Amino acid sequence: MEKIPILKMGRFLLVTVQVDMHDQLAMQLQDDLTSRIVASKARGVLIDISSLEVVDSFIGRMISNIAAMARVLDAETVVVGIQPAVAITLVELGLSLEGVRTALNVDRGMALLQERLADEQR
């Protein structure tokens, strides 16, 4: 069965969604990610959905759920690489991912996380 890889980069976890996200896959990711955050004591999670071209309300809600769960586990979550069409769809569906941080690309998202970490350590 296919699985969405979760990579560890320093104190952050990097999730890149490379395949079409179907419901089962999203559920699986939710399980995997929460256990990885706990296991690796990660401080930040970066979810890259730049290759995601279609979202429905379920996937939209899963993304915001995953972000909320990560925050409960004290890991800042940044969703990056949302395509214009996907952004419009999400807004039209009424899912504007309140409380989830967003960035244009992985670069920006990583900078955001590092800024956060620096703020905390100060």
Partner 1 sequence: MPSFGHPVPYRALGYHKDTQESRSMPTAGQTLRKVLAQSQKELLADWIQAQQSATTLRIDLMKDGELREQSREFLSLIQGASEAGSLEQIEGSHWAPAREFLARVSRSRAQHGFSPAQTATFVFSLKQPLFTRLRAEFGQDAQGLAEEVWLTTELFDRLGLLTTESYVKSREEIIQRQQREMMELSTPVVQLWDNILALPLIGTLDSERTQVVMESLLQKIVETGASIAIIDITGVPTVDTLVAQHLLKTVAAARLMGADCIISGIRPQIAQTIVHLGVNLSEVTTKASLADAFAVALKRTQAKLPQQFAT
Site residues for partner 1 per CB under 8 A: 79-80, 82, 84, 86-88, 90-92, 96-97, 102-105, 108-109
Cβ of residue 90: shortest distance to partner 1, in angstroms?
Answer: 6
Helices (H), 46-92: 57-72, 84-92
- CA dist list (Å): 16 to 13, 29, 49, 73, 91: 10, 11, 6, 20, 22
Task: Tell me how far, at minimum, the Cβ of 112 lies from partner 1, in Å.
Answer: 8
Nearer to partner 1, 75 or 82 (CB): 82
Decide whether 61 or 108 has the Cβ nearer to partner 1.
108
Q: Where does residue 120 rank: exposed (0-12), middle (13-18), buried (19+ CB within 10 A)?
A: exposed
Provide the minimum distance between the beta carbon of 89 and partner 1 in the complex, in angstroms, as a whole number. 9
Shortest distance, CB of residue 91 to partner 1, whole angstroms? 5
Closest to partner 1 by CB, 37 or 79: 79
Give the Å distances, CA to CA, from 42 to 13, 15, 77. 7, 13, 11
